[in-house]
Amino acid sequence: MRFLLLITCLFTSLLLYAEPIELLSPDKQLTVRVEKGDSLSLEVLKRGEFLYRVDNIAMRTDVGCMPGTKAKVKKISRTSVCQEHRPIVKELNAVIQENYNQLRIEFQDRVSMEIRAYNEGVAYRFVTPFKDDFTVYHESSTYSFNEKCDFIFQRDKDPGSSCEESYVTEKVGKLTSEDMCNLPALVSTPNSQCMVFLEADIQDYPVMWLKTVNGKLNIHHWNYPADYLNTNNYYNKRAVTQRCDYIARVKGNRSFPWRAMAIADRDIDLLSNQLTWLLGEECRLEDTSWIKPGWTYFDWWGRRGITGVDFEAGLNTETAKYMIDFSAKYGISYFLLDDGWNKGNLLHPIPGMNIEEIAGYCRSKGVNLMLWVSYHQLYDKMDEVFEQFEKWGVKGIKIDFMARFDQEMVRFYWEVAQKSAQYHLVINFHGAYSPDGLSRTYPNVLTREALAEFEMNGVTNRISPIHDCTLPFIRIVAGSADYIPGTMLNASRSKFRPIADTPLGQGTRAHSLAMAVISYSPMQMVPDAPSVYYAEDECSRFLFSLPVVWDETRAISGKVGEHVAIARRNGSDWYVGAITNWDSRKLSFNFDFLKEGESYKMEIIRDGVNASTTATDYKYEIRDVKKGDTVHIDLAAGGGWIAKILCQSDK
C-alpha cells in the first residue's frame, strides 16, 4: 500500500429521514440513494438513469428486526478511500487500485449499515455491536430492475448444488416463482449497461442465493443443518436431510457479508473488475513465501489414456511416477493424485499406491505433490490428516464435494483455509460455491471450481464455445476459475460427443489453448493423458510456457456469449487470447498496450484453414511486432487465437 487518502465527516441526527441520503462514486457517475422509512431501501443510478433498487433490507432475528422498523437514524459518517494493494497472488494485476466513497448509517437501535460506492460497483452490509450472540431467522432484500433487462443466471434450486448448471437468459419481467439461482448472475439493461450480483467476505454466515418472489429477485439463504445423510458413501455422507428454522447463529459484535453489484457500461469492462477481492478481508498470514502458483497435472483422465509404456496404467505408484516425469519435462509445478488413491480413509492409501515414495519422487523431480480429499473425509479429522500429509511431503489439496451453502459449510471453508496454511498446503476447492474474497485473506486458496468446466464434456454438450464466451462476464468476475483448459482432443460442433473416460473439448485447438489466458487461475489444471501431450509437443510446449499469474490485465474486445479477447502481462511479456462462439468471426485490435521503443517477437497459434471442420487443425507462426501495430485475425467456428508477445530487450 503506497498511498492512502482518508476523509471522514460525521453528522448526527435523531430524525426519521424523509429525504434520501445520497452517496456518489469517486467519478460521480454512480449515485446511491438510501431511504429509511418503515423499511430500509437503496436505489442506484448511473449518470442519473435508474439501474436498480433494493427494498426491505433487514434481518429478522430472535431479538427483533434489524434495523428496527421504527428505528431512527442516529449518526451518519462519510469516508473516502484511495489506495493501492499489492496482492500476494497476482490473479489479474500486480497492483490493484481501490477508490471508493463510503456511507455509514448508524440507527438508534445501534445497528449500522455500510454502503460503498466504487467507480466499478456498489456494495452494502450490516454491522452490529452487541455483546450477546443472536439468531438470524431470515434476511431480506428485494431487488427491482427494468423488466426489459436480460437476466443471465444458472437456474438452480438444489441446496446440494456444485454450481455447475448452464447459463440461461430470461427477461427480468418474465421470471417466475420457479426461478432460483446461485451467484454470480448478470443483469444487462436495454442500453447495454451490465451488472453482476456478487457477495464478498462471507464469514460465519450462509451464502446468498436469489429467488424470484412476486416477480422480483429476493435474496435467499439455506437454513442451518439439523440432520445429515448417514451412509458409508464418503461423497455425500454429510448431505443435509433436515434443517433448523434459522439461517445462522452469530456473534453479536461483527460485520456481515457484503452484498455487491459490479457495474459496467460495456460487457468488456467487467473483465477487469476485482470488487470481490477488494471487499475481502486483508491477508491474515504473516509468512506467504511458501505459496507458489503454477500449472497442475492431475491423473483423473490421464491414467486412462496412457500408451507406449511397459506397465499397466491405473491407480498405482508406477503410473504416478510416469506422470511426475511428464510434469517435470514440461515444467509443471504440481502433480495431483485425484479421487481413487484412497477408499475412504485419508491415512491409508489403496494397495499399490505408496504415497511416501511418490512424494519423494516428486521432490527429486522438482514437482509438488497434491492429494484429492472429500469434505466428509476431512471435516472432523483435519489436524490428524494434515499431520500425516506433512510427513508424506504433500504440498497441496483439492477438496471436493462440499456442495452446500449453509453457515456450517462456510465455517468449514475458513477453518480448512486457516489450518492448511499452518501446514503450508495450497488449496483448490471443487464442488464449491463461488469466490467471495477468501483468497485475499488466505492466499493459499489458489483456485476453485463453482462453474461448469471441461470435465462436463464427458457427460454433456453444455460446455460449448458459447458457454466459454459467457464465463468471463459472469463467473470469472467473482474470481479465479478452475476451468481446466488446454485439451488437445478437440472436436467441431458436428463431431463432438460426450466420452466419459476421454472427454473431447468443443471448439478448435487454438480455442482450447486460448482458454488458458481467457480463464485465469493461479493453479491451471490440464486434462489429457501424457501420451496425448507428448504427441502434440509443439502445442504442449506453448501451453506450459504460459504464466498463471498476471501483472496487468487489459480487456480488448468482447460480448457476452459471442466472443472475448483479453491481453495479460507477466513481467515485460504480453499474452493475448481470443475466442468465439460457434460463429466464425473476424477481429482486429491494436497493440497499443506494448511499450514504446521496445521490439517484440510474437509467437502465435491460430486456427488452421480447416479448423471449422477438423478442430485439431492449427497454424504456428512467429512475427515481429511493436507498439501501435494492428493484428487482423480470422476465428473459425468455435475458434480461437493465442499469442505470446515476448519483449526482446529482456532476452
Interval 309-352: pLDDT, tens:
999 999 999 999 999 999 999 999 999 999 999 999 999 999 99
Residue 56 and residue 133 in contact, taking contact as beta carbons nearer than 8 Å: no
pLDDT band at 236 (very low <50, low <70, confident <90, very high): confident
**Mean predicted lDDT score pLDDT of the chain:** 95
Catalytic residue selected from 91, 299, 339, 400: 400
Q: Which of 445, 422, 421, 420 is nearest to 435 (CA)?
A: 445
Domains 21-279 and 451-650 share a fold: no
Rounded Cα distance, 427 and 445, in Å: 5
Q: Which residues are registered as beta bridge partners of 590?
A: 630
For residues 189-207, give the mean pLDDT.
97
Residue 9 has pLDDT above 80, yes or no: no
Eight-class DSSP state of 349: B
For residues 121-142, give the mean pLDDT.
98
451-650 has CATH 3.40.50.1100 classification: no
pLDDT at residue 71, rounded to an integer = 85
pLDDT at residue 651, rounded to an integer = 65
Q: What percent of the chain stands above pLDDT 70? A: 97
For residues 228-245, give the mean pLDDT.
89
pLDDT at residue 278, rounded to an integer = 98
pLDDT at residue 4, rounded to an integer = 45
Nine-digit cell string for 624: 515481429
Residue 28 has pLDDT above 50, yes or no: yes
Residue 151 and residue 185 in contact, taking contact as beta carbons nearer than 8 Å: yes
pLDDT at residue 14, rounded to an integer = 43
Radius of gyration for the alpha carbons in the chain, expressed in angstroms and rounded:
25
- The answer to whether residue 400 is catalytic is yes
Nine-digit cell string for 293: 502458483
Residue 310 and residue 272 in contact, taking contact as beta carbons nearer than 8 Å: no
Residue 85 has pLDDT above 50, yes or no: yes
Residue 261 and residue 195 in contact, taking contact as beta carbons nearer than 8 Å: yes
Nine-digit cell string for 334: 504440481
pLDDT band at 152 (very low <50, low <70, confident <90, very high): very high
Lowest mean pLDDT among 15-24, 219-228, 292-301: 15-24
pLDDT by residue (tens digit) across 637-650? 999 999 999 999 97
Residue 227 and residue 242 in contact, taking contact as beta carbons nearer than 8 Å: yes
pLDDT at residue 242, rounded to an integer = 97
For the beta carbon of residue 612, count every other beta carbon within 10 angstroms: 20
For residues 369-384, give the mean pLDDT.
95
- The answer to whether residue 455 is catalytic is yes
For the beta carbon of residue 3, count every other beta carbon within 10 angstroms: 8
Residue 237 and residue 231 in contact, taking contact as beta carbons nearer than 8 Å: yes
Catalytic residue selected from 455, 482, 536, 607: 455
Nine-digit cell string for 321: 511416477
For the beta carbon of residue 443, count every other beta carbon within 10 angstroms: 22
pLDDT by residue (tens digit) across 466-491? 999 999 999 999 999 999 999 999 99
pLDDT at residue 13, rounded to an integer = 44
Query: Which contiguous run of DSSP H or E holds residue 26?
Result: none
Three-state secondary structure readout of 566-598: EEEEECCEEEEEEEECCCCEEEEEECCCCCCCC
For residue 599, give the amino acid letter.
S
pLDDT at residue 542, rounded to an integer = 98
pLDDT at residue 18, rounded to an integer = 53
pLDDT at residue 358, rounded to an integer = 98
SS3 state at 94: coil
Q: Which residues are registered as beta bridge partners of 260?
A: 123, 198
pLDDT at residue 505, rounded to an integer = 98
For residue 521, give the amino acid letter.
S
Q: Which CATH class is domain 21-279?
A: mainly beta
Residue 47 has pLDDT above 50, yes or no: yes
| Ranges of each domain in the chain | 21-279, 451-650
For residues 266-278, give the mean pLDDT.
97
Residue 280 and residue 88 in contact, taking contact as beta carbons nearer than 8 Å: no
Residue 490 and residue 507 in contact, taking contact as beta carbons nearer than 8 Å: yes
pLDDT band at 16 (very low <50, low <70, confident <90, very high): very low
pLDDT at residue 70, rounded to an integer = 83
pLDDT at residue 7, rounded to an integer = 45
For residue 32, give the amino acid letter.
V
Q: What percent of the chain stands above pLDDT 90? A: 92
Please state at what angle helix 382-392 crosses helix 355-365, rounded to 10 degrees. Answer: 50
For residues 222-250, give the mean pLDDT.
92
Three-state secondary structure readout of 221-283: CCCCEEEECCCCCCCCCCCEEEECCCCEEECCEEECCEEEEEEECCHHHHHHCCHHHHHCCCC
Q: What is the DSSP string of 383-408?
A: HHHHHHHHHHT--EEEEE-----SHH
Better-scored residue on pLDDT, 129 or 239 = 129
Q: Which of 636, 646, 513, 506 is nearest to 584 (CA)?
A: 636
